[in-house]
A and B are shown apart, each in its own frame.
Chain A
Amino acid sequence: MFLPLKGLLVVEFSQYLSGPSAGLRLADLGARVIKIERPGSGDPCRKLAVKNLWLGDDALNFHAINRGKESFAADLKNEADREAVKKILAKADVVTHNFRPGVMERIGLAYSDVKSINERIVYAEITGYGKKGPWKNKPGQDLLIQSLSGLAYTTGDDGEGPMPFGLSIVDSICGIHAVQGILAALIRRQKTGLGAFVELSLLESGLSFQFELLTTHYHSRQSIKRSKVSNGNPLLGAPYGIYKTKDGYIALAMMSMPLLQEALGIASLGNYAPADVFEKRDEIKSIIAEQLLVKETAFWLQRLMALGLWASEVHNWDTLTQTPLYKSTGMESKIAANGDKSFTTTRCPIRIDGKAVGAKLAAPELGEHTEKIKEELLS
């Protein structure tokens, strides 16, 4: 298969997760991605280990985010290093960075600077909060954006405090939006020869992610309330949520109340009108929660599925990875590396022409490819 981005060169100044996750996807789609890293320390993500897990000298999560990339060590405050980087940029198709506003301007690598040496460049820039307004200099960190953007009031039950998503959703979504903007700009460049300046911020991506909720809020002018019982999504009526059963948990999505009444054998559900699934959501969900505790998950699932209702068990990774379904996805990917640095991670979720795609190479050591790149691109 001809990988779609084969032949394209991406220069990544980005650090941590948002920008580097974009670089990872571009690498999986066939681009060559060179990380420009500060000598001595590199991408700070190398030292930001989650759960104290390391592989060699670098955090395991750094390996997951940066597999399949090359590393070029350069001190951007040093004239000679900066000139070397500019020579790489002259040959690049895409640049990404996620420094705070003003940093790339100060070192002479802003969009206008790079455009002056490479008119066709697609230059993608990720900030935390945009480049104007009172928040522009705040740290662009995932939990903080979740908290400011209203997202923390979508999860958990009403009556509990605000609750963040347990993953770096804003970084991930912003990285995804960056890839979309970059690809769209490359498509235009192919037809017109024009480069592009693609600007993103974590906050705008975090807001866009909530577009259904925000549109509903703008229209109803009311705050969007989480359910008090098994909240699954503040916009949705009963029974939407995850409930405890006698031996575990069960998820119930949107479904017909009369059929649910039949499946669970709760006569009192028949007293509610269709609009009550929104208006009396907590009351209905309390009745359902009580009944589900009486029997095991398998018992309820069998009854719900027999009526074609949207329900499922709740897996953890131990039970999930034992299912034939999980095995059929082939999502696990073994990355071979020197020494004891081989590891298993997930592959790119996009299949092209019926085949899974993705870079199978390890993450680079800091500056691992500096000499090779100098010989190849700078001579």
Chain B
Amino acid sequence: MKLLQDILVIDFSQFLSGPSASLCLADFGADVIKIEKPGTGDICRELYVSDVMIDGESSIFHAINRNKKSYAADLKNAADVARLKQLIQKADVVMHNFRPGVMERLGFDYDSVKKINPNVIYAQISGYGEDGPWKHLPGQDLLLQSLSGLAWLNNSSHANPTPMGVSVVDMLAGAHVAQGIMALLYRKGVTGEGGSIQVSMLESALDFQFEVLTCYFNDGGQLPQRSAVNSGHAYVAAPYGIYKTKDDYIALAMADILQLGDLIGCDDLAAFTDRKDWFEKRDEIKTCLAHHLLHHTTTHWLEILEPAGVWCSKVLDYEQLTSEEGYQALNMEVVVKTSNGISVKTTRCPVRVDGELLVNERGAPALGEHNSEIDELFEIASKKEIVDLNSSI
């Protein structure tokens, strides 16, 4: 039995944060139905989020929405609203990531949904909280990275604040809301009652920084000082970072500077006998290392350092990565198929359960693809109404 078998999730969310949460739930076996606006659907289907298209929709949309169903419904149309309410009566989970106030206006806020489904689990993701002073600002990943201090943790000290190049705040907020939903599904199994989950992208971005914010709260409020040289982590001592070699790059994590100097024949490092200096004089140490490592190839250094147990690695881009045996051994790639017969290669759920990969071959849905199936399955409308509905889309 799948972990979340027979759990029905009604997902109103768009873009990445909410949909990445429902992707996780779908991977564990839940039935996820996307509620989408007729005509346009999830805005993530559109071109401007990426210029790589698959079957007329963005590659990103296909990655985020595999293994889900799509139900087109106009939340401002009375007949559609009536159908949705019938569907919501059968749901275990209802989730959305609209800005605060939108679901209230549409009549699908927690209190309204609870009236038609008293034990529902209702989850919402906002940018900045439900009632904070910025609640109307767009909850967008780069803006959250910029506002939460995250951009000041990357790159070297001379550089502009630099965002992380993946939509990390969206992904974390989605992951947190998935955790909250599953925790409440478990509680419901104990108490029989539902509940609500709220996550904001800002809180998720702060949680992500919990270790270093804890330093800031307790060290007299010192801002992070990025290393001037080959910065890897503002709070970690030398040699932590990525260095250029004669032919490529090498990553060095935490290491004993004296041992490292000895192994690679960098005599200047022998002077740093006080471990405290490995943090306080890290720029000096890292400058020595950066010059020295240029003299030989990555393979040369790895052959010296790996057998000695030093934490080091080569640095790969996607082309190099995907040709590595270590990558291929994971079977991380999965091919899903859309109902149009389009095959899309993407990554699978990273969790294995009872020794099995969690893989489902269903691709992302076309907009409104499952309206009649869902209406029939949940006995939502008469056959005539289904025909009327389909002709209006």
Contact = CB atoms under 8 A, between A and B. Distances in A.
Interface of A: 2, 4-5, 7, 17, 25, 29, 48, 50-53, 55, 60-61, 63-65, 129-130, 132-135, 138-139, 141-144, 146-156, 161-169, 172-174, 176-181, 183-188, 190-192, 194, 196-201, 203-205, 207-220, 223-224, 226, 230-237, 240-244, 249, 251-254, 274-275, 277-279, 310-318, 320, 324-326, 328-329, 331-332, 343-346, 348-354
B175 interface: yes
A181 B352 CA distance: 8
A101 to B, nearest CB: 13
A53 B215 contact: yes
B199 A350 contact: yes
Given A53-B219, A176-B179, A215 B62 contact: yes
Contact of B251 (A130, A135, A143, A233): A143
B329 A180 contact: no
B214 A63 contact: yes
Contacts, number: 477
B91 interface: no
A5 B196 contact: no
B186 interface: yes
Interface in B159-218: 159-168, 171-172, 175-180, 182-187, 189-191, 195-200, 202-204, 206-218
Contacts of B213: 317, 345-346
Given A25-B179, A134-B326, A346-B213, 15 more contacts: A53-B219, A61-B211, A150-B318, A162-B317, A164-B232, A166-B226, A187-B182, A218-B345, A242-B162, A244-B160, A253-B140, A315-B148, A329-B202, A352-B196, A353-B196
A325 B133 contact: yes
Given A164-B241, A223-B318, A350 B355 contact: no
A351 B198 contact: yes
A344 B214 contact: yes
A17 B236 CA distance: 14
A244 B226 CA distance: 18
Given A61-B215, A253-B143, A344-B214, A144 B311 contact: yes
Contacts of A161: 230, 242, 244, 249
A329 to B, nearest CB: 6
B223 A198 contact: no
Contact of B175 (A173, A185, A242, A311): A173
A192 B253 CA distance: 44
B361 to A, nearest CB: 15
B354 A197 contact: yes
Nearest first, the 10 A-B pairs at minimum CB distance are A133-B329, A154-B165, A166-B153, A135-B326, A183-B182, A251-B146, A184-B3, A215-B63, A147-B251, A4-B187
A187 B146 CA distance: 37
Contacts of B393: none
Nearest to A133: B329
Contact of B161 (A154, A242, A274): A242
A1 to B, nearest CB: 8
Contacts of A55: 218
Contacts of B189: 187, 190-191
A22 B301 CA distance: 35
B344 A150 contact: no
A345 B214 contact: yes
Contacts of A343: 214, 217-218
14 contacts: A132-B329, A139-B311, A143-B252, A155-B164, A173-B171, A184-B28, A190-B189, A196-B3, A231-B165, A237-B51, A251-B151, A310-B140, A311-B143, A343-B218
Interface in B230-255: 230-236, 240-242, 244, 249, 251-254
B183 A4 contact: yes
A30 B326 CA distance: 38
B313 interface: yes
Interface stretch (B52-60, B76-84, B384-392): B52-60
A335 to B, nearest CB: 9
A190 B186 contact: yes
Given A163-B154, A164-B251, A351-B198, A320 B149 contact: yes
B186 A4 contact: yes
B160 A223 contact: no
A209 B134 CA distance: 28
Contact of B162 (A155, A220, A277): A155
A165 B276 CA distance: 24
B155 interface: yes
B99 to A, nearest CB: 13
A169 B207 CA distance: 12
B355 to A, nearest CB: 6
A49 B153 CA distance: 18
A161 B214 CA distance: 30
Contacts of B311: 139, 141, 143-144
